[in-house]
Amino acid sequence: MTFNPSPIAHRVSQHLQALADPNKAEKMAAYMKTSMPFYGVQAGPRDQIVKAIAPNIHLATHDDYVALIETLWALPHREEKYIAIRLARRFKPFISLASLPLYERLIRDGEWWDFTDEIATHLVGTVLKKSPDQTWPTLDRWLLNPNLWIRRAALLAQNRLKSHTDPQKLFAYCLHLADEEDFFIRKAIGWALREYARTNPDAVRTFLTQHHDTLSPLSIREASKHLER
């Protein structure tokens, strides 16, 4: 039987409509600085929706996985796209090298930090941990991409890897992007270094000392937060 994601997408929208709060929707859109509509459903209730529907979703192939995520992503509200990412995370066997083109499409289409960061850290990062040798060439290309959100994703992919972080890659990526003036790149450099500082504070401290004149004050400030405690 051919997998049809449309009824699942319809159920997701119904759940969100039932919980819609116009006042919260207005505030959420203002916070995210977007004209994309919100229902006004926050993270906790969204997670409950995922928990309710996920056990009844049966994906047999990678194509099913892609169809489900893309169908949800195509819906107009931001929460529907958040749930698309959550479901993408839920079906772990399909978080694989074959899914990197899907994740890249979502980042390019979303073009904002709330989408990019979760995709990079929870999806791309999982692929990197599973298959580092095969994933690094893709991230090396992403680092050179004209799209700043793709570059940001390349940098943040290691954020949850802890002891599995490749420090040489991390530091090289930070230095490659250090000349960029965009706030979201500079912030990402600091965040990536701060996360690795939880695992190896001495290495990050040394890196910051050696490259103090290269990194932006914002990146250094963000990277140093845990080191100062």
CATH architecture of 132-228: Alpha Horseshoe (1.25)
- Residues 110 and 147: their CA atoms lie apart, in Å, by 12
Q: What is the pLDDT of residue 1?
A: 76
Residues (pLDDT < 70) of the chain are 228-229
Contact (CB, 8 A) for 194 and 158: no
Domain ranges of the chain: 1-94, 132-228
Output the CATH code of domain 1-94: 1.25.10.90
- The dihedral through the CA atoms of 140, 144, 149, 150 has a sign that is negative
- Find tokens 């919980």 and name the residue: 19
Q: What is the pLDDT of residue 226?
A: 81
Q: What is the pLDDT of residue 26?
A: 98
> Tens digits of per-residue pLDDT, 159-203?
999 999 999 999 999 999 999 999 999 999 999 999 999 999 999
CA-based radius of gyration for the chain: 19
